């Protein structure tokens, strides 16, 4: 798998912000979160960034492989209310062996809301699933 010829390519993804994407809607039983304003939650923004990178490389890596997130570095610059559409722009900035690196920017149609870096690793799907199943057997019940 060689994506070096894809370095420098960009792609765009869009996500409409709904209440389920906000801080108070996070699935954690923490009263402090429930009292927060309904703005895009940073963990959801990170998930959107990962999804945008997956979309960027969809069809470029042959099966049976998948890419896993390894590192996320993000500056969450501004709050985004429900109803906005977030547009993410990903740029593949490195492809060294199985390691992929992306720069990402995000806007909510009014202002820049985030910028960051996301690194992914391409792995064999079957091997990953088998290792995960073995680890799951060791989880205390």
pLDDT digits (tens, 9 = 90+) for 20-69: 999 999 999 899 999 999 999 999 999 999 999 999 999 888 778 999 99
Which position among 42, 85, 96, 111 bears the catalytic label? Answer: 42
Residue 96 falls in the annotated catalytic set: no
Residue 95 pLDDT exceeds 90: yes
CATH class of 4-137: alpha beta
Q: Which two tokens stand for residue 102?
A: 């992306």
Active site residue 42: yes
Cis peptide preceding 64, ω within 30 of 0: yes
pLDDT tens digits for range 125-141: 999 999 999 999 999 98
Given this model, what pLDDT does residue 1 score? 65
pLDDT in tens, 98-125: 999 999 999 999 999 999 999 999 999 9
User: What is the model's pLDDT at position 50?
Assistant: 97
The active-site residue out of 21, 50, 90, 118 is 50
- The domain limits of the chain are 4-137
Of 61, 56, 73, the closest CA to residue 98 belongs to 61
Could you give the CA distance from residue 54 to residue 121 in angstroms, rounded to a whole number?
Answer: 11
d(CA 65, CA 91): 21
Its pTM surpasses 0.75: yes
Closest CA to 49 of 74, 16, 77: 74
**18 tagged catalytic:** no
The pLDDT of residue 16 is 98
Q: Which of 9, 38, 55, 76 is catalytic?
A: 76
The sheet carrying 112-124 orders its strands as: 10-16, 85-96, 99-107, 112-124, 65-76
């Amino acid at each position: 798998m060689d994506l070096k010829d894809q370095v420098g390519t960009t792609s765009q993804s869009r996500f409409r912000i709904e209440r389920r994407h906000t801080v108070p809607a996070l699935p954690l039983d923490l009263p402090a979160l429930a009292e927060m304003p309904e703005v895009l939650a940073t963990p959801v923004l990170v998930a959107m960034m990962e999804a945008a990178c997956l979309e960027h490389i969809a069809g470029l890596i042959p099966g049976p492989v998948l890419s896993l997130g390894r590192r996320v570095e993000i500056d969450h610059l501004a709050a985004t209310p429900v109803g906005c559409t977030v547009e993410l722009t990903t740029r593949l900035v490195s492809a060294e062996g199985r390691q992929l690196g992306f720069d990402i920017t995000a806007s909510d149609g009014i202002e820049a809301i985030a910028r960051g870096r996301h690194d992914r690793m391409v792995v064999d799907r079957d091997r990953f699933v088998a290792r995960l199943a073995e680890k799951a057997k060791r989880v205390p019940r």
